[in-house]
Amino acid sequence: MSENNPTRLLIARKVPAVVASRAEAEFHAFVTESDMDSWSVVDFCKKHDVPAVLIGKKSGLQAEHIAALPSTVKIIANASAGFDHLDVAAAHARGIVVTNAPDALTECTADFSMLLVLAACRRASEYERIMRKGWGKSFGMTEMLGTRVNSKTLGVVGFGRIGRAVAKRAQAFGMHVIYTDIGRAAPSLENGATFYASLDDMLPHAQVLTLHVPAGSVPLMTKNEFERLPAGAVFINAARGGLVDEDALYEALTSGRLFGAGLDVYWNEPHIDKRFAELDNVFLSPHMASATIETRDQMGLTALDNVAAVLDGRPALNQV
């Protein structure tokens, strides 16, 4: 940081090396070594008059933080598809552009969703634990049986980029795909999937259910929704933990209503409800759906593309 080369970007979360290198070369960016908190972001912006900020969950900016930002800030960029850690309306009210990276995560999140489907249906966590304990006992024809994926009906809640990418992968496994969303997709995007106008109408037909929508103010999946699923269904969530009433999910898993579940997101991340860790019929992962080298690089570079556009006076590529 110098008067000749003023800092034009604050990167308030730890990013991959390729992203940091470009940010430093192109924007004379200050790149944090560890995730900053929200008020630290505000203080830095006030001290250095930066026009752009790249934030993460820990450095999320709510209305009170945005109100305290200096007028120099023109863009708040997110390197993720989600932006629930940011008060978008408050930013817009101050004339600040908000961007995200909706395309960067699609393929890897869809891959990971199918991993959860396969792992939950085929009891992957149980098999892996058996092997780590040394195996030592052959299983008979009726023991430790999973449920096959081929020929099952997959219900997709949210038929956006990720939902459609999951559907495509599921069809390659011989699954039938049904979906629900706020409206029907264009026939060219459905690729043979069947639309249901409401979640309640779709649930009784979904032998495997996967969520791909943003979290709202109340859970989407409650006791009522789990009871509408067919007996022995499998539940998948790689979207947001806030979509699920975890007490209702636990009851469905322990009562036999659900055969199993594959979970990558949780209500109180990063602190999991420990009851789920004690269940054999749940495959658990720590919110890692986008965690590949290629995707994390692309997420950060997409955020920088948006910063470059706005600071050059061009429209953002991915404006929220």
198 bridge partner residues: none
Rounded to whole angstroms, the Cα distance separating 244 from 238 reads 11
Q: Considering the candidates 28, 92, 205, 287, report the single residue annotated as catalytic.
A: 287
Work out the angle between the directed axes of helices 106-121 and 124-132 (0-180°, nearest 10): 70
Reply yes or no: is the peptide bond before residue 204 cis, omega within 30 of 0. no
**Cβ atoms of 310 and 119 closer than 8 Å:** no
Catalytic residue check, 176: no
**Cα-trace Rg, the chain:** 22
**Cβ atoms of 1 and 28 closer than 8 Å:** yes
Catalytic residue check, 240: yes
Q: Considering the candidates 13, 164, 169, 240, report the single residue annotated as catalytic.
A: 240
Structure tokens at 264: 């990558």
Q: Considering the candidates 64, 128, 269, 278, report the single residue annotated as catalytic.
A: 269
Catalytic residue check, 8: no
Query: Within a 10 A sphere around the Cβ of 316, how many other Cβ atoms?
Result: 18
**Residues annotated as part of the active site:** 240, 269, 287
